[in-house]
Structure 1
Amino acid sequence: MKSKSTSELKASIHRVEEICKSNKLGLTEIRRQVFEIIVKNNKPIKAYEILDKISNINNKPSHPPTVYRAIDFLIENGFVHKLNSINSFVGCFHPKAHKECYFLICKKCNIYQECCDDSLKDRISKTAIHNNFVISNTTLEIEGHCLDCSQK
C-alpha cells in the first residue's frame, strides 16, 4: 500500500489520454483535472474534496453537477473506481487492462491497494451462474488494517 511514484502518475495520465484519443472519448479539461486530482491523491478522495480542489485550481467556484459528471465519465470508462464503503474515489493505474478488481482498505488511515485476480473473478462468476444469478456490478472491498496501523 505504497503511494505511487511521479512516473507512475504521469504514465497513468498519459494512458488515459491515449485511450480517450484512440476511442474518440472527449477528455475535457474538467475531466482531466478531476482525474489528475484523484490519481495524485494518495488516499481515496470524496467528491466534495475534489470540488474544492477544482475550485482552487481554476480560481473560481465549481458546481457539484460538473464534478459529478466528470467522475461518472471516468468511472464509466474504467479510469476511476468508486469505493462504496467509504463513499470515495480512487484512480485506476492500469485502465482497460482488467475488468474486475478488488480493494484492500485500511479502516484506520484509509490507505488502499487495488488488486486484480482473474481467478477470484472467475470463482464469483461461477458461483453466480450456479445460483442462477446475473451479476450487474462487482465491487469487492476488503477492510482491515495496513501494516503500519496494525503495529500501532
Structure 2
Amino acid sequence: MSDRPARPAADQGSDPAAAFQPHDHGHCSSAALDAAEARLAQQGARLTPVRRRTLEILLESPRAMGAYEVLDRLAAEGFGRQPPVAYRALEFLVSHGLAHRLQRLNAFAACLHPGHDHTPAFLICRSCDRVAEAEAAPIRAVLSDVASGAGFRVERATIEALGLCASCAADGAA
C-alpha cells in the first residue's frame, strides 16, 4: 500500500484515482448504500434482504466480483446456493443503476454514484484487480463523432481500460 494519506470522503465520488489510493472505503460504502436506498425509493422499488446483502458484498470489495463469488458469500450467510439467487439480485442491482457489469472480467462492481444516471468508463488494474469509474462523456462524444463519420450510430458502448494503477506500477508490476 502507499504511504499517501487517505483522501477525504468528499473526494471519492468525483475522482477515479481515489479508488486506487488509501481512503475510508467503509464511508464510501455507507454513502453508496444510503444513496441506493434513496434511489430505489424514488423508483418505487426496494432492497430485499438478498439484494441488500448482494449490494453490501459488492460495496465491501474494491474490485469487481464474479457472480459465483457473490453466490459463495451469500450461501455462507444462509441465502441459498442456487445460482439464480445471485444472478437475480445482481440483475436487479444493474437494472436499477446500483451496480455495473464489467464485460471484460465477466464480473460486477457496485456503483459508487447511484444517485444519478451515468455511463462510466472503467479503469481496471490488471495487477490488483481494483476498479474505478471515470467520466466517460468525453470518450463517448469522440466515439460517436468517429462512428457518425462512418455512417454508424452508437447505441451502446462499454468502455473498459486495462492497465496498472499507480501503486502497482510503483511496486514494479509487469
Which deviates further from its counterpart, 75-84 or 96-105?
A: 96-105
Give runs of aligned pairs for residues 9-20 of structure 1, distance below 5 A. 9-20=29-40
Runs of 4+, deviation exceeding 6 Å: none
**TM-score, normalised on structure 2?**
0.78
Percent sequence identity over aligned pairs: 28
Aligned to 2:102: 83
Give the counterpart of 2:86 among 61, 67, 73. 67
CA drift of 1:23 comes to: 1.0
Distance 1:26 1:98, change over 3 A: closer
Q: How many residues end up aligned between the 2 structures?
A: 151
User: Deviation digits for residues 16-74 of structure 1, max 9, x if unmatched?
Assistant: 1111111101322111111110111121111111001111122x633101210111111
Q: Secondary structure at the match of 2:63?
A: coil
Q: Which residue does 1:95 correspond to in 2?
A: 114
1:136, 1:29 → 2: CA distance? 34
Whole-Å Cα distance in 1 between the matches of residues 83 and 154 of structure 2? 30
Does residue 29 of the first structure (1) align with residue 56 of the second (2)?
Answer: no
Of stretches 30-39 and 96-105 in structure 1, the one that deviates more from structure 2 is: 96-105
1:143 is aligned, of 156, 162, 172, to 162
TM normalised by structure 1 equals 0.89
> Higher mean Cα deviation, 61-70 or 44-53?
61-70
Q: Over residues 90-130 of structure 1, what are the superposed CA-to-partner deviations in whole Å (9 max), with x where a residue is unaligned?
A: 11111252421111111122112111142222222333333
Alignment partners' CA distance in 2, 1:113 and 1:15 = 18
Cα distance, 1:51–1:4 mapped onto 2, change above 3 Å: farther
Q: Which amino acid aligns with 1:110?
A: D
Of 9-18 and 109-118, deviating more is 109-118
CA 1:133–1:48 in 2, change beyond 3 Å: closer, same or farther? same
Q: What's the RMSD between the two structures over aligned residues?
A: 1.8
CA-CA distance at 1:75 after TM superposition: 0.8
